[in-house]
Every structure is written in C-alpha cells, then in structure tokens.
C-alpha cells in the first residue's frame, strides 16, 4: 500500500525544516501510483498531483510534524476537498411530492438503494415515501421492489410490465399527490452498457416527472469505466447526486474521486451492504484515507501531535540517534504512548495493522505495560542507566519490588537490549536506507 511505500520516503526527509521540490516529487510519485492502483482516472490523478505539488513545495514544516507527514497532510486535505464537503442532504420540493429518479447501469444497486433510501427518508427525516417500479425490462425487477416494499411496509406503485416506464412515472406521481405521499422514488431500468434507448427513455421520464433529484447509482467496484458512465449520464440527464454502492467490499473506491471530478456533482450516500439500513452519508475524509490506503494515519498524526510534548519528543529522538536511550527514556516513552488512548485503538489506526493475520482478535494487554512500568520503576538510578550491571540478585530484588517475576525482568531487559541494537542500526544506516516511521 501507499503507506508502506511512503514511509521509506518520509524517513528520508525527516529532520528538514522545509519541504523541498525533490522531496515532494518523490512522494508524489508514490501518491500517483496509489491513486492509479485505487482506480482513479489518470487525468484526474495528473491534475491532482500537480495541484498538491504546487501547494506542498516550500511549505514550512509544522513543528510537530515531520516533512513527510506534512506532505501527507496536504495530500489528504486536497483529496478531501476534491470530493466536496459532506453532502447527504436531499431536496425537498416546495409542493410535495418530492420526486427522485434512480438511474444507473444494470446491477449497480438501483433497486436495493431505492429501498434503502426510502427507509432512510422515513427513519431519519420522518417522511412518507412511495416506491415506483418503473423497470419493466428486467425479469422479476418489479417483484424485487415489491418484496422490499413489503419488508419496509411501504407502498410500491406498479402497472406491470406492459405499460411504458414514462406512463408509470406519470401515474405514480398523480397517485402520490392524491394519497399525500411526500416522496416518490422511481426505480428505473438499467442496461449492461449505456445505450441510446435507455437514455431516451430516461430523458422522456425526466420531462414528465420533473424530478427534484436524479441520483446516479454507481457500483464502487466499477474501476476506470465509472468515469465514462458518470459522464454520459450527466451529459444526457444532468444528475444531481451520486450514490456509491458496495463500498463494504474491498475496493479502494477510487471511482468516487473520478466521478466527483468529472461530473462536479456531490456523492451523497454510500451503500455499505445488502441490508435495508446499509446506506450512510458520504464522508469525504474517510474516503480520502481509504483511497490512499492509509488507515487513519492522519488521525494518528494529529493525536500524536496533541499528546506528545514536542521538546520531549525531540530530546528522545536525539537520544535514539546517539543511542544513549536509557530505561528511563523508555519509561517516559511508554507514558507518552499511553496518553494517546487505549493501545488497541491506536494500533488499529496504523495502516495495514488490521490486515495482519491473527492479530484481529488480539487483545492488547494494558496490564502488560503496567508491569513493564513497574519493573523499570523498581530499578535504581544506576541500574536504569547501565542495565548491564543487573545481575541475578538485583533481578530478584527488582522482581520482588515490582510484584513480577525474574523471567519478566529478563524479558524486559532482553527487549530493551534488542531495541537499542535496532536503534543503533537505524542511526548508522546510510541516508535513504532507513526504514520505518517514527512512532509516535
Ligand atoms: P440494479 O440492477 O441496479 O437494480 O441492482 P440491484 O439493486 O438489483 O443490486 C444488484 C446486487 O447488488 C444485489 O445483489 C444487491 O443485493 C447488491 N447490492 C446493492 N447494493 C449493495 C451494497 O451496498 N453492498 C453490497 N454488498 N451489495 C449491494
Ligand atoms: Mg433493479
């Protein structure tokens, strides 16, 4: 993923006061790849990288961030901006009913989303929607909507499959007026590919139904093709919003970015499952993280920023560099890490962590940390500075004093020793070969 690749670049430019053009160029190469991997359209990627580069070069680095983190911050801000603010509002007609047309390719999730949206309108906005079965071409499409209507206990308007969709829409709206439904959600037919017959029919329906919203329903797994689909629906119909479905899958969802950039219409909701309550407002920030494949790196950076005393952090880093890191420093660092919040929550924010097999059910043991802290606290000043003097009898004393065992004391000393060795290795490595991301 992006984060792994960026980390090596980031560690290289650590410690500089200004972000240089070369730094940004190197990082942008990785960002570009990540976006393309997430199926963002190449033209969108090109424009994006250009804009971020212009903004990032020459920036003063915030005291609490490394230059690498700073560039990531700019990337995420721009990405969020590109996807627009939170836009989960739905139009309300001045004279009811409010009419919504659901359009999109076959299999995108129109029918399911029609049910979900009706559910949301009733639950969240206290509305009284009517569903309209206007897909007369796909076998069982009417039945599918009727089943959803039954589950929701909501009326489904249908005239079978022998009446034209345009006529169905017209009569449905009349009926909604008479019976005081305030929303009419029209489920329309899709095709496997965009074709003229489909578009003509939708255009006629738009003429007659005068919808307040036309929502384009797009399968988030549609990669590069999403742009073409969105573009032609938008050109022909003028869509007012996008609903991205199947985001519960493992797609990175780069389509969202492309669609937003190409149509300049907001993504309003995302489908997160097959169930009727699996429709959520679109959160641009979350999507930005997802597209970049970075977990919540930025949240982590921000949390770290808030909790870690800047001067202390610098001091620690200096100590790590010169490998004069002592057990006292270790204790201090443990305390700072704990300030960030419950450990397992912090670990969850580290990109890729959730993907590591077997760690899913891992309970991070806070008690373990307390024991380590107790052990270190039971050492004398001299022992903490020079742990090599800790012999058998000292170990026994420390274990007793901390309410732990000699084995635990041994384990800690061994870990600390390894940690120091690793630090030494890292600081002695030639520039550019360093790995890893200082945490926090
Ligand atoms: P339509 O042809 O555009 O009307 O698409 P449907 O509403 O019939 O949906 C096609 C398939 O996608 C169905 O099996 C749905 O259950 C499924 N589907 C729709 N939305 C979602 C979603 O958000 N997540 C998942 N996992 N499946 C979805
Ligand atoms: Mg359908």
Mean pLDDT for 366-384 is: 85
> Which ligand 1 atom sits nearest the alpha carbon of residue 245?
23
pLDDT band at 315 (very low <50, low <70, confident <90, very high): low
pLDDT band at 430 (very low <50, low <70, confident <90, very high): very low
Please list every protein residue whose CB sits less than 6 Å from any atom of ligand 1.
104, 106-112, 190, 217, 245-246, 248, 271-274, 278
> 38: CA distance to ligand 1 center in Å?
21
pLDDT of residue 338: 60
Using CA positions, which residue lies closest to atom 16 of ligand 1?
Answer: 274
**Average pLDDT of the residues of the chain:** 80
Task: Tell me the sheet residues that pair with 241.
Answer: 215
> 217: CA distance to ligand 2 center in Å?
11
Q: Is the pLDDT of residue 334 over 90?
A: no
Any idea which of 123-132, 147-156, 204-213, 414-423 has the lowest mean pLDDT?
414-423
> Which ligand 1 atom sits nearest the alpha carbon of residue 106?
2
> pLDDT tens across 182-235, in order?
999 999 999 888 889 999 999 999 999 999 999 999 998 887 788 888 999 999
pLDDT of residue 63: 61
> 395: CA distance to ligand 2 center in Å?
71
| Local structure of 163: helix, strand or coil | coil
Q: Are 170 and 205 in contact, with CB atoms under 8 Å apart?
A: no
- For the chain, the residue count is 440
The more confidently predicted of residues 308 and 164 is 164
Q: Are 125 and 98 in contact, with CB atoms under 8 Å apart?
A: no
Q: Is the pLDDT of residue 425 over 70?
A: no
Cα separation, 202 vs 232, in Å, equals: 12
Q: Is the pLDDT of residue 362 over 60?
A: no
Any idea which of 158-162, 166-170, 382-386 has the lowest mean pLDDT?
382-386
b/e per residue, 326-348, with b = 16+ CB within 10 A?
bbebbbbbeebbbebeebeebee
pLDDT of residue 194: 81
Using CA positions, which residue lies closest to atom 20 of ligand 1?
Answer: 109
Ligand 1: which of 107, 108, 112 to mutate, judged by most atoms within 8 Å of the beta carbon?
A: 112
Would you give the end-to-end CA distance of the chain in angstroms? 20
> pLDDT tens across 260-281, in order?
888 889 899 999 999 999 999 8
> 88: CA distance to ligand 1 center in Å?
20
Calculate what percentage of the chain has a pLDDT beyond 70: 72
């Amino acid at each position: 993923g992006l984060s792994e690749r960026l980390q090596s670049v980031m560690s290289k430019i650590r410690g500089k006061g200004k972000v240089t053009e070369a730094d940004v160029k190197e990082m942008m190469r990785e960002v570009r790849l990540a976006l393309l991997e997430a199926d963002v359209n190449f033209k969108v990627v090109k424009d994006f990288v250009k804009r971020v580069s212009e903004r990032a070069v020459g920036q003063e680095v915030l005291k609490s961030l490394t230059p690498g983190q700073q560039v990531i911050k700019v990337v995420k801000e721009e990405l969020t901006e590109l996807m627009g603010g939170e836009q989960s509002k739905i139009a309300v007609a001045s004279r009811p009913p409010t009419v919504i047309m659901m359009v999109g390719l076959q299999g995108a999730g129109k029918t399911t989303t029609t049910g979900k949206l009706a559910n949301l309108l009733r639950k969240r906005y206290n509305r009284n929607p009517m569903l309209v079965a206007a897909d007369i071409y796909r076998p069982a499409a009417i039945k599918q909507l009727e089943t959803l209507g039954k589950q929701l206990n909501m009326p489904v308007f249908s005239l079978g499959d022998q009446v034209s969709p345009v006529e169905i829409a017209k009569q449905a709206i009349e009926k909604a007026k008479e019976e005081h439904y305030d929303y009419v959600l029209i489920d329309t037919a899709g095709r496997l590919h965009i074709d003229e017959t489909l578009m003509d029919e939708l255009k006629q329906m738009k003429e007659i139904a005068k919808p307040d919203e036309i929502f384009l329903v797009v399968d988030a797994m549609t990669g590069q093709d999403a742009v073409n689909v969105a573009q032609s629906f938008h050109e022909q119909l003028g869509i007012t919003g996008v609903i991205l479905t199947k985001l519960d899958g493992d797609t990175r969802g780069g389509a969202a970015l492309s669609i937003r950039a190409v149509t300049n219409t907001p993504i309003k909701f995302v489908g997160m499952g097959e169930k009727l309550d699996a429709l959520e407002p679109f959160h641009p920030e979350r999507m930005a993280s997802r597209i970049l494949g970075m977990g919540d790196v930025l949240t982590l950076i921000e949390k770290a920023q808030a909790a870690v005393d800047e001067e202390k952090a610098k001091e620690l880093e200096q100590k790590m560099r010169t490998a004069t890191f002592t057990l006292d420093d270790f204790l201090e660092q443990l305390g700072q890490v704990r300030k960030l919040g419950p450990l397992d929550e912090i670990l969850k924010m580290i990109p890729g962590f959730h993907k590591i097999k077997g760690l899913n059910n891992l309970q991070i043991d806070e008690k373990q940390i307390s024991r380590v802290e107790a052990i270190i606290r039971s050492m004398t000043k001299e022992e903490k500075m020079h742990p090599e003097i800790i012999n058998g009898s000292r170990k026994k004393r420390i274990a007793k004093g901390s309410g732990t065992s000699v084995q635990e004391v041994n384990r800690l000393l061994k870990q600390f020793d390894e940690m120091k060795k690793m630090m030494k290795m890292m600081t002695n490595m030639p520039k550019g070969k360093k790995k890893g991301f200082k945490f926090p």
